[in-house]
Amino acid sequence: MHFYVKLGAAALLASAVAVPAAWAGETLDRVMSTKTLTMSSDPEYPPQSFLNDKNEMDGFDVDVGKEIAKRMGAELKIVTPGWDIITAGSWGGRWDMSVGSMTPTKKRAEVLDFPAVYYYTPAAFAVHKDSDMDSLDDLNGKVIGSCGGCTYDAYLMKDLEIDAEGAPPFEYEVEAGEIKTYETDTHAFDDLALGDGARLDAVFSALPTIQEAIKKGGYPMKVIGKPAFYEPLSVATDKGDPEFDAKIAEVVAAMKSDGTLKKLSEKWYGVDLTTVQ
Amino acid sequence: MIAPARESPWLSRALVFLVAATALTALGLGGTAAGDLFAPLFGPRDPAIEASFGRNLLVGVMLAGAFVLNLEFLRLLLFRWQVLVVWGELLLLFYGFVQSFGRDFSVVFESGESGVSNLYFLITTGAFTTIYVSLIAIAIACLLALLGALGKLSRNGAAYAVATFYISFFRGTPLLLQVVLIYTGLAQLGFVLEAVPAGITALALCYGAYMAEIFRAGIEGVPHGQREAAKALGVPEGLIFRKIVFPQAMRLIVPPTGNQFIAMLKDSSLVSVVGVWELTKTAQVLGKRDFQVFEFLIAAAVIYWIMSVVFEVVQARLEAYYGKGQRR
């Protein structure tokens, strides 16, 4: 009798120790056993992530995701849930990571982990090409458009707390008269394109996104002033798997040190955005 | 003298002409393509300069004249031809409206390195997903609606409570939130649904709630005498609903249900938030590639419209089938 009680106690103890351990490595286990790394990405965000001429997902974020998968010995699979769904956390194992140019902020860090910053994007203001504004001071009191709930929105609201080591400090240099937010940046560009001051006086977005819209989309805009801030952009993972996070951090660090990330940045942005300017 | 009871047809025509001419002149169409017809009189139009009143007036009068002549022409036709001609004219006007945006819609038909045209991709990926998601969802919704209606008509307090709670919640909250609740909320409880099943579940639950009311009204709309007559003839209790009441209720249920399905075809765009590439999402993704979203959204609108027209025809057939008993 005594023996069985001891055995039962030992088994209970063993399972109590073993279960959290298995839980912690769940994502990593899944990726390694299925040889599939699933990442979420917004397909409406060129040049970071978009559907190319071959009707395949392509872009800087997608290339980074492919490289991470390759180095983990897995195939990359892409899913495209909306931004709000991704930033809400609790992914339920439906995808393993987000390589979606996400800035680690304090609020997001409550529901997601940010294991590896992989590049830094300058955030810039653009005005209609007919506008006379040419410095950040001119923007005070103007109607400025940005994506809603994103870091640009937070900056304009003076509520941006970036939560990453090595993030360059910044000051709030622009006092918007009115902030108009959109589902995504390009809708703000559309409104600015209607005419100088028709709906917007300026837009605030990632510099590469603005430049791509001007180059490929022919938007009548011009960038003014120096970048307002540099935001670190990180791979995001769901809470609760430190081993998977460590693996991602290791892989991204290796990509940075052997120059792979720099090469990808130059391929998509024409410049190296992987180090702080 | 008292005015004649029947006013002269010419007077009413003149009135229509006057109103139309005034409205069209007020719109100031002299600066549009229609104003070019008077280029010999006023010289070619200059987009930078506001069109003169004379030009606006001439264009207004001309268009009003065309409008009245068109009405006179339609008077000569049979009903069926009137319908066809007016449909054609409205379509032409719509086409002109879209053309006036000055966008290049040829991009919709272009094909990239993939070898398939964008339109093909839009249909095979987008429209196909929209249709199968909606068809599965409406099938489940019909079942839920029947259960909901029976529950609401039940004398069992628990069944009534469950049915009314279900109908109240899913009619009372936005579909978008339901999609997110089912996709992200249920996942916390361990029910991890993929995007497509989650979307179908949300659509089915939401539309089932709306349609429960339609089904209830349909069942209640069958005269009570039908039940009584069936009883008097000795039809077994269980068969009365299936063979007597339900087929007659269907006549009342089908038209609004067809309506719901057509609404669902378009509401299914809400499930794109969880990453389902249905028609709207596919159009946006294709559009973002070269910053030509608007062109693709117009193309998607036309595809939605065509799908709706097809299902309108299906609905008319179904209505004719279940309306057999009422036709004279």
3-state secondary structure of A261: helix
Does B105 have pLDDT greater than 60?
Answer: yes
pLDDT band at A277 (very low <50, low <70, confident <90, very high): low
CATH code, B289: 1.10.3720.10
Same domain, B82 and B153: no
Higher pLDDT, B9 or B215: B215
The pLDDT of residue A10 is above 60: no
Which pLDDT score, from 0 to 100, does residue A9 have?
Answer: 53
- pLDDT at position A248 is 96
Answer yes or no: do B124 and B93 share one domain: no
Distance from CA of A43 to the nearest CA of B (A): 6
On whether both B180 and B310 belong to a single domain, the answer is yes
Q: pLDDT (tens digit, 9 = 90+) per residue, A186-196?
A: 889 999 999 99
Indicate which of A42, A80, A203, A209 best probes the interface with B, i.e. most B CBs within 10 Å of its own CB: A80
Share of chain A above pLDDT 90, in %: 68
**Mean pLDDT, residues A121-128 taken together:** 94
Q: Are B228 and B316 contained in the same domain? A: yes
Q: Which fold has domain A2-117+235-269?
A: D-Maltodextrin-Binding Protein; domain 2 (3.40.190)
B281: distance to nearest CA of chain A, Å?
A: 9
B288/A219 CB distance under 8 A: no
The pLDDT assigned to B204 comes to 97
Answer yes or no: do A51 and B289 touch at CB < 8 A. Answer: yes
Write the pLDDT tens digit of every residue in A43-59: 988 889 999 989 999 99
Residue B122 backbone class (left: φ over 0; alpha: ψ -120 to 50; beta: rest): alpha
Interface size between A and B, measured as CB pairs under 8 A: 84
CA distance A226 to chain B (A): 25
Q: How far apart are CA A133 and CA A123, in angstroms?
A: 17
Q: Range of B20's domain?
A: 10-43+51-99
Distance (Å) from the alpha carbon of B133 to chain A's nearest alpha carbon: 17
pLDDT at A140 over 50: yes
A228 close to A123: Cβ distance less than 8 angstroms: yes
Residue A277, both tokens:
């300017």
Per-residue pLDDT tens for A169-221? 888 999 999 999 998 888 899 999 999 999 999 999 999 989 989 988 889 99
Q: Which residue of A has its CA nearest to B179?
A: A85
Does the structure show a pLDDT above 50 at B238? yes
**Which of B171, B201, B169 lies closest to B183 in space, CA to CA?**
B201
Task: Count the Cβ atoms, other than its own, within 10 Å of residue B73.
Answer: 11
Q: CB distance B285–A50 less than 8 Å? A: yes
A54 with B113: Cβ contact below 8 A: yes
CATH of A120-231, one of 3.40.190.10, 3.40.50.150, 3.30.930.10, 3.40.50.720: 3.40.190.10
Q: Does residue B138 lie within any of the structural domains?
A: yes
What residues of A are in contact with residue B192 (Cβ under 8 Å)? 92-94
Residue B39 pLDDT greater than 80, yes or no: no
Domain boundaries along the sequence of chain A: 2-117+235-269, 120-231
**Phi, psi (deg, nearest 5) at residue A124:** -135, 155
For residues B296 and B149, membership in a common domain is answered with yes
Q: Edge-to-edge, what's the strand order for the sheet holding A44-45? A: A44-45, A49-51, A57-58
Task: State the pLDDT at residue B12.
Answer: 85
pLDDT of residue B306: 96
Residue B4 lies in a domain: no
Statement: residue A20 has pLDDT above 80: no
- Which pLDDT score, from 0 to 100, does residue B94 have? 92
Residue B288 CA to residue A217 CA, distance in Å, equals 9
Domain count, chain B: 2
Section B251-271 average pLDDT: 93
On whether residue B79 sits in a domain, the answer given is: yes
ipTM of the complex: 0.77
Looking at the domain assignment, is residue B272 inside a domain? yes
CA-to-CA dists, residue B28 to A197, B24, B51, B54, B68, angstroms: 25, 7, 8, 10, 19
- Is any Cβ of chain B less than 8 angstroms from the Cβ of A44? yes
Mean pLDDT for all residues in chain B: 89
B17 falls within a domain: yes
pLDDT for the residue numbered A13: 46
Pick from A91-100, B36-45, B65-74: least confident: B36-45
Given pLDDT bands bounded at 50, 70 and 90, which one contains residue A267? very high
Position B6 pLDDT exceeds 90: no
Q: What's the whole-model pTM score?
A: 0.82
Would the pLDDT of A249 be above 80? yes
User: How far is the C-alpha of B273 from the C-alpha of B89, rounded, in Å?
Assistant: 38
Domain for residue B204, yes or no? yes
Summarize pLDDT for B110-132 with one digit per residue, the tens.
Answer: 887 878 899 999 999 999 999 99
In a domain, B314, yes or no: yes
